[in-house]
Amino acid sequence: MPDSSGKIDIYNSFGANVTETTPANDMIDNNTSILSINSTDKDVLTTSSAASPGRTRGLEKGLPEFIILADLTAEEATDKPPDGLYAWAVVFACLISLMLSIGINDAYGVYQQHYQLSEFPQATTAIISWVGTTQFLVMCVGGIFSGFLCEHFDTRILNAIGAVIMGIAFIAASFCRSIEMLMVTQGLLYGLGASFPFVAGTSIPSQWFTKRRGLATGIALSGSGIGGMWMTSATSTLITSLGRPWAMRVTGIISMAAVLAVSPWMRVRLVPNRSERLIDWSMVKDLRFNMFLIALVFAIAAYFGPFYQIPSYSVLVLHKSESWGSNMDTLMNGLSIVGRLVVGLLADAVGPLNLLILNMVLAAVSLLVLWVPFDTVGTLVAVDILFGFAIGGVVSVIPVVAAEVFGLARLPSIIGLLFIGYFAGGLLGVPPMSALLDNVGHRTDYKSSILYMAMLPVCSLVFLLLMRLIITRRIWVRV
């Protein structure tokens, strides 16, 4: 593998001065330095010997067995350059799309509170929570297919189709009077429609930036926090003033109109020059990816618990009003916006994986140290602030980690593969928490549910640390 100087020159097509000369023995020593060649643009990998195929094959053979090479070529789908004004227009379009797709899902806690306390008081918490859980799970399953479709069809059209389905789903849900029908409309149908803007809005921003990728992704993904914040407050107000049916109709019309309006800018910049496989299963050969996927499962499992349970917890345990409980979700969504932006701003300098680990520590502390032992208004506000900030940063940096470690060209399908982890996390999160609340806490004692919730970010942290150890054992290094 090494030449006579013991060095390998890797040329990446991202502009000038991109030659990276790395000691060959560093590439495999402790699996620390360059562990894969990421497919970040067309003609991604060439070598100093006029892109000699022999040297490329030698490089591949010299890597550890569990490290795989990503795709080496990708085609540009547009003549628009990265990092320009058009790229920021794409970021804004992704922000709006995520604001409505994930933001509405984040606001489900208000519906959960309304169903539990007013509309379906005889139903168990676990049954009611399945409406929101179905919404998220179908979004994840649909995301697997959406990632594949985004690589083969115009994402602008796919985004528009998703917008129409989202709107129809909520308008149809407004006429439903049973939990079962709400699962079909508010849950299944809406999740299917939202999967298109979800996967596109998550994966597209990274393709349009080479210099401020973390910041751009953080801004785009802040849309989900913005949506969760204003949708939580707006949904509570609409239900109180107009009733649940008209609240859903208004939500459906707004979501459909807004996502349709920005769909012309929802376009990919790179498409892979590779196979027609639905999912890039070769990624499961990469030990780093396996650690990342397992960590993601636990992170997503922890994500929705506080959003779903804090509104009713505020009423039943702290004896606050329903509006106060809804405001706690609004506050948490607001802090998640700050977390997304701060982490996005720092990711390019500090390293996205480093920040993902740090934010998971903060999430674990907020639940395990603050919420588990205390039942006071002050500690709940502290949990709201710390967890909201931390989990917002976690969500925003996940696509950046995927892009940095595994490459850009097939990022939509890699994100689609990660949605298997999102799906598993959805099953591992809210349903068991709700079952514990029903069967152990008898719908009023949240201790067992909160303790279970608190252990999830701890488990995620363990696997993130293992992933980082595989990449490098040096502490003060950007990863």
pTM: 0.70
Judge whether residue 256 has pLDDT over 60: yes
pLDDT at 71 over 60: no
Q: Is the pLDDT of residue 217 over 60?
A: yes
Contact 111, 236 (CB under 8 A): no
Most confident listed range (107-111, 205-209, 381-385) = 381-385
Structure tokens at 240: 């109180």
pLDDT band at 411 (very low <50, low <70, confident <90, very high): low
Q: Which of 15-29, 38-52, 113-127, 260-274 has the highest mean pLDDT?
A: 113-127
Amino acid 216: pLDDT? 85
Q: Which of 30-34, 61-65, 147-151 has the lowest mean pLDDT?
A: 30-34
| pLDDT confidence tier of residue 443, bands split at 50, 70 and 90 | confident
What is the arithmetic mean of pLDDT over 449-470? 96
**pLDDT band of 23, cuts 50, 70, 90:** very low
Grouping H, G, I as helix, E, B as strand and the rest as coil, residue 23 is strand
Mean pLDDT of 141-161: 82
Q: Which 8-state DSSP code applies to residue 185?
A: I
Work out the average pLDDT over 351-373.
94
pLDDT category of residue 279 using cuts at 50, 70 and 90 = low
| pLDDT (0 to 100) of residue 409 | 60
268 CB-near residues (< 8 Å, 6+ apart) = 77, 78, 150, 151, 155, 204, 207, 412
pLDDT of residue 6: 36
Per the CB < 8 A criterion, the answer to whether 25 and 6 are in contact is yes
Taking 90 as the threshold, does the pLDDT of residue 193 lie above it? Answer: yes
Phi, psi of 33 (to 5 degrees): -95, -100
Assess whether pLDDT exceeds 90 at residue 276.
Answer: no
Say what the pLDDT of residue 90 is: 93
Residue 44 has pLDDT above 70, yes or no: no
The pLDDT assigned to 141 comes to 84
Q: Which tokens is 230 given?
A: 């204003």
Greater model confidence, 71 or 367: 367
| Residue 34: per-residue pLDDT | 31
Farthest CA pair distance, the chain: 77
Average pLDDT, the chain: 79
- Rounded Cα distance, 134 and 128, in Å: 10
Is the per-residue pLDDT at 252 higher than 70?
A: yes
Going by C-alpha positions, the residue among 271, 363, 231, 316 that lies closest to residue 71 is 271
Listed range (2-11, 141-150, 408-417, 456-465) with the worst mean pLDDT: 2-11
Q: What is the mean pLDDT of residues 31-60?
A: 35
pLDDT higher than 70, residue 140: yes
Rounded average pLDDT over 466-471: 94
- Note whether 115 and 131 are within 8 A (CB): yes
Instruction: Look at 44 and 437; give whichever has higher pLDDT.
Output: 437
Residue 4: per-residue pLDDT: 40
Range with lowest mean pLDDT among 47-61, 111-125, 417-431 = 47-61
Helix extents (H) in 263-351 = 287-316, 322-350
pLDDT band for position 52 (cuts 50, 70, 90): very low
* Residue scoring higher pLDDT (228 or 456): 456
For the chain, domains (ranges, CATH) are: 7-69 (no CATH), 76-320+356-471 (1.20.1250.20)
> What is the rounded average pLDDT of the residues 447-472?
95
CA distance 154 to 157: 6
Measured between alpha carbons, how far is 232 from 54 in angstroms, rounded to an integer? 57
Asked if pLDDT for residue 61 goes beyond 90, the answer is: no
185 pLDDT band (50/70/90 cuts)?
Answer: very high
As a whole number of Å, the CA-based R_g of the chain is 22
Q: Check residue 104 and report its DSSP letter.
A: H
Q: Is the pLDDT of residue 384 over 90?
A: yes
Residue 172 has pLDDT above 90, yes or no: yes
pLDDT digits (tens, 9 = 90+) for 224-251: 878 888 888 899 899 999 999 999 999 9
pLDDT at 370 over 90: yes
pLDDT (tens digit, 9 = 90+) per residue, 322-347?
Answer: 889 888 988 888 888 888 888 878 88
User: Which amino acid, one-letter code, is at 350?
Assistant: V
- 1 pLDDT band (50/70/90 cuts)? very low
CA neighbor of 303 nearest in space, from 424, 405, 219, 415: 424
pLDDT at 255: 92
The pLDDT assigned to 413 comes to: 63
